[in-house]
């Protein structure tokens, strides 16, 4: 292979988008660029107290153009641009949007430009909790069980719950909506210059894990499944899709418009999109029966197994199992935690409240110094909390927390659940509470591993990917100790973007399949954590406490929900 062939991986996260130019010969990063979504940063269109989190398509478009152009400039301009062969994209999910017949998100139309319901509904948006509960109850009346490949429980984080909620609460959007499209499917459509929503190549990853598409069903569940759920959904399946495509299939070529905007050729091939964790697992060189944990604001846990070995086996309470959703020819199984890094960020904001809100009122320092001090302290909080927490003894009587600060993704999705901190006393300081929160996130990870194992899926080890994995040795060592398993940390900083670049190399014809791209472009692991066997006994007792408290919280939440429904 020529050494001057390059590919671009684009990774859309919750707060920002990053693009990387990678040498297809060896996976070396040539350039990278990150763009923070400005509207999202300013808190526009979001109501956290109501679990509403929306993102404007302009944040995505501006970030796409800015980061790719930045990368090309950093890498050397025209000399690099003329040798870029492919682009592939991953996104968070399920993050769908209402579009018109041309595939244009409604928020890009003048009449909807400030309407949150016309924007992308971010994965962490839980406004559809009621709708998800209805879907779960409704599915019990049908045979086959249309939830069988998504762990048996439908989540408010997913495609149909969000669609049903939007059309119920906003008749203007419902009337203008022609179809409902995942973010990871829309960006390739945008780059290829699509003008007809029917031409969107829907990814196998998003369709299978979030939208109930399955080979057994011959596509999506039938229209009467949705029309009998709510007549507002009558006819919706005819506006969606039957066929899906794995991420090693090209979506088309870069359009003339986007080629001009980016300074690239229309010969550049665009890959079919997928979710960040699934492409990240490929970037992180996933192996069969190793759990790839992409650890950021939430976690998304990916395991692959040869399809023949998992044939007929269904894992309860996870986020789906889909042939080809990660590596074509293998079953991809997904789980995860709805809040991981978000839990630490919440606590950081809590303890930093006086600095954020009172420092500017100080009469002792000027405004510029106050702002600089605020930024400095913000960067120091988590590292120092981690250092202090690591010095604390691990005892059964320590403070205990439950990590459901944004609901529970797996096992057994329930986004109505809330986080808990128990065992507090007058000696409970910030490091002690932080340690309890870190333990809770690791116990949540253990519950996922236990579910796989109890359902007959072995877990041989952990591959750590993402910001928390790279930045927090304290959390990673604790997780290894709690799981009793080694954890390998992938060395590439933007691993999801690297995975996208690997798929770009396949769709561009540089490699024949994903496995070959992984072998040539994989960058290996630079850190590993081994479990401390001496801590096993106390952590096992702590884990049992976690499960007991979690069970109580789940029971109380169910009673509260039942009472609210009776009084409604």
* 249 and 165 fall within a common domain: yes
Q: Mean pLDDT for the chain?
A: 95
pLDDT at residue 204, as a whole number: 98
* 501 and 398 fall within a common domain: no
Q: Is residue 207 part of a domain?
A: yes
Global confidence as pTM: 0.92
Q: Is residue 294 part of a domain?
A: no
Give the integer Cα–Cα distance in Å for 329 and 307. Answer: 6
pLDDT at residue 3, as a whole number: 62
Q: Is the pLDDT confidence value at 410 over 80?
A: yes
> How many CB atoms lie under 10 A from the CB of residue 491?
14
User: Dihedral sign, CA of 297, 131, 60, 184?
Assistant: positive
Give the integer Cα–Cα distance in Å for 186 and 191. Answer: 9
Give me the mean pLDDT over the 322-337 stretch.
96
Phi then psi for residue 493, to 5 deg, are -65, -45
* 459 and 522 fall within a common domain: no
Full DSSP string of 143-207: SS-TTGGGTT---TTSHHHHHHHHHHH-HHHHHH--EEEEHHHHHHHHHTT---GGG---BHHHH
Give the integer Cα–Cα distance in Å for 2 and 9. Answer: 19
pLDDT at residue 312, as a whole number: 81
* 57 and 80 fall within a common domain: yes
Task: Tell me the two tokens of residue 436.
Answer: 């309890």
Give me the mean pLDDT over the 233-239 stretch.
96
* 81 and 165 fall within a common domain: yes
Give the integer Cα–Cα distance in Å for 44 and 59. Answer: 11
Q: Is the pLDDT confidence value at 563 over 80?
A: no
Q: Is the pLDDT confidence value at 2 over 70?
A: no
pLDDT at residue 111, as a whole number: 98
Give me the mean pLDDT over the 400-405 stretch.
97
Phi then psi for residue 94, to 5 deg, are -85, 125
pLDDT tens digits, 96-127 = 999 999 999 999 999 999 999 999 999 999 99
Task: Tell me the two tokens of residue 352.
Answer: 């930093």
* 371 and 245 fall within a common domain: no
CA angle 43, 45, 47 (to 5 degrees): 75
Q: For strands 400-402 and 330-337, give the pairing.
A: unpaired
pLDDT tens digits, 138-188 = 999 999 999 999 999 999 999 999 999 999 999 999 999 999 999 999 999
* 166 and 59 fall within a common domain: yes
pLDDT at residue 1, as a whole number: 46
Show the DSSP H helices in 170-302 as ranges.
Answer: 171-176, 183-191, 204-210, 223-227, 256-262, 276-283
Q: Is residue 373 part of a domain?
A: yes
Q: Is residue 335 part of a domain?
A: no
Q: Is residue 262 part of a domain?
A: yes
Give me the mean pLDDT over the 212-219 stretch.
96
Whole-number percent of the chain with pLDDT over 90: 94
pLDDT at residue 311, as a whole number: 78
Structural domain boundaries enclosing 449: 341-490+532-567
208: closest CA among 187, 234, 185?
Answer: 185
Task: Tell me the two tokens of residue 457.
Answer: 């899926």
Provide the domain count of the chain: 2
- Give the CATH number for residue 509: 3.30.420.40
549: closest CA among 434, 441, 451, 420?
Answer: 420
Note whether 438 and 473 are within 8 A (CB).
Answer: no
* 503 and 538 fall within a common domain: no
* 376 and 485 fall within a common domain: yes
pLDDT tens digits, 476-524 = 999 999 999 999 999 988 999 999 999 999 999 999 999 999 999 998 9
* 376 and 391 fall within a common domain: yes
Give the integer Cα–Cα distance in Å for 181 and 332. Answer: 22
Q: Which residue has the tokens 């209805």?
A: 134
* 127 and 96 fall within a common domain: yes
Helix (H) or strand (E) holding 61: helix 57-75
pLDDT tens digits, 420-441 = 999 999 999 999 999 999 999 9
Give me the mean pLDDT over the 311-319 stretch.
90
Whole-number percent of the chain with pLDDT over 70: 99
Q: Is the pLDDT confidence value at 561 over 80?
A: no
Give me the mean pLDDT over the 42-61 stretch.
96
Q: Is the pLDDT confidence value at 535 over 80?
A: yes
Give me the mean pLDDT over the 39-47 stretch.
97
CA-to-CA dists, residue 322 to 68, 88, 187, 221, angstroms:
31, 20, 22, 15
pLDDT tens digits, 75-94 = 999 999 999 999 999 999 99
pLDDT tens digits, 437-486 = 999 999 999 999 999 999 999 999 999 998 899 999 999 999 999 999 99
Q: Is residue 329 part of a domain?
A: no
pLDDT tens digits, 14-33 = 999 999 999 999 999 999 99
pLDDT at residue 565, as a whole number: 58
Residues 6+ apart with CB under 8 A from 338: 124, 157, 298, 404, 405, 406, 407, 408, 409, 415
* 519 and 448 fall within a common domain: no
Q: Is residue 481 part of a domain?
A: yes
Give the integer Cα–Cα distance in Å for 13 and 566. Answer: 39
pLDDT at residue 360, as a whole number: 87
CA-to-CA dists, residue 25 to 71, 459, 511, angstroms:
18, 31, 10
Q: Is residue 187 part of a domain?
A: yes
pLDDT tens digits, 343-373 = 999 999 999 999 999 998 989 999 999 999 9
């Amino acid at each position: 292979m020529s050494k001057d062939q390059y590919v671009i991986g684009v990774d859309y996260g919750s707060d920002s988008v990053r693009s990387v130019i990678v040498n297809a010969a060896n996976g070396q990063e040539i350039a990278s660029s990150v763009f923070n979504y400005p509207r999202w940063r300013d808190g526009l269109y979001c109501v956290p107290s109501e679990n509403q989190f929306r993102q404007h398509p302009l944040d995505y478009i501006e970030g796409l153009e800015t980061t790719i152009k930045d990368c090309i400039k950093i890498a050397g301009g025209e000399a690099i641009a003329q040798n870029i062969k492919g682009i592939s994209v991953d996104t968070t999910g399920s993050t769908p949007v209402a579009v018109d017949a041309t595939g244009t998100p409604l928020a890009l139309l003048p009449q909807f430009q400030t309407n949150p319901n016309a924007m992308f509904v971010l994965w962490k948006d839980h406004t559809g909790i009621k709708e998800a509960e209805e879907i779960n109850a409704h599915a019990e009346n049908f045979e086959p069980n249309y939830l069988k490949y998504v762990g048996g429980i439908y989540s408010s984080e997913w495609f149909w719950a969000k669609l049903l909620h939007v059309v119920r609460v906003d008749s203007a959007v419902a009337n203008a909506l022609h179809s409902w499209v995942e973010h990871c499917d829309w960006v390739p459509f945008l780059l290829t210059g699509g003008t007809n929503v029917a031409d969107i190549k829907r990814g196998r990853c998003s369709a299978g894990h979030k939208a109930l598409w399955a080979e057994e069903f011959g596509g999506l569940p039938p229209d009467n499944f949705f029309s009998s759920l709510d007549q507002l959904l009558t006819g919706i399946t005819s506006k969606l899709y039957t066929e899906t495509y794995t991420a090693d299939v090209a979506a088309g070529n870069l359009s003339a418009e986007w080629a001009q905007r980016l300074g690239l050729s229309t010969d550049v091939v665009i890959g079919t999109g997928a979710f960040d964790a699934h492409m990240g697992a490929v970037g992180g060189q996933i192996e069969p029966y190793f759990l790839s944990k992409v650890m950021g604001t939430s976690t998304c846990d990916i395991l692959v197994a040869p399809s023949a070995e998992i044939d007929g086996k269904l894992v309860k309470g996870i986020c789906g199992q889909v042939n080809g959703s990660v590596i074509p020819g293998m079953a991809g199984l997904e789980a995860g935690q709805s809040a991981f890094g978000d839990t630490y960020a919440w606590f950081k904001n809590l303890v930093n409240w006086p600095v954020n809100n009172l420092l500017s009122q100080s009469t002792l320092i000027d405004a510029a110094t106050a702002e600089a001090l605020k930024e400095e302290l913000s960067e120091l909080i988590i590292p120092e909390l981690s250092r202090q927490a690591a010095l604390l003894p691990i005892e059964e009587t320590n403070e205990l927390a439950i990590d459901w600060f944004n609901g529970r993704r797996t096992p057994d999705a329930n986004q109505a659940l809330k986080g808990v901190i128990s065992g507090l006393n007058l000696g409970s300081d910030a490091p002690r509470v932080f340690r309890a929160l870190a333990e809770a996130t690791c116990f949540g990870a253990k519950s996922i591993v236990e579910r796989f194992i109890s359902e007959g899926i072995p877990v041989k080890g952990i591959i750590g990917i993402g910001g928390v994995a790279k930045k927090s040795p304290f959390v990673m060592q604790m997780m290894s100790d709690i799981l009793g398993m080694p954890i390998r940390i992938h060395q590439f900083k933007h691993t999801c973007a690297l995975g996208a670049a690997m798929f770009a190399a396949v769709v561009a014809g540089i490699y024949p399949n994903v496995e070959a791209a992984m072998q040539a472009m994989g960058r290996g692991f630079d850190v590993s954590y081994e479990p401390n066997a001496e801590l096993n006994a106390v952590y096992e007792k702590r884990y049992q406490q976690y499960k007991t408290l979690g069970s109580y919280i789940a029971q109380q939440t169910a009673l509260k929900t039942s009472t609210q429904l009776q009084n409604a």
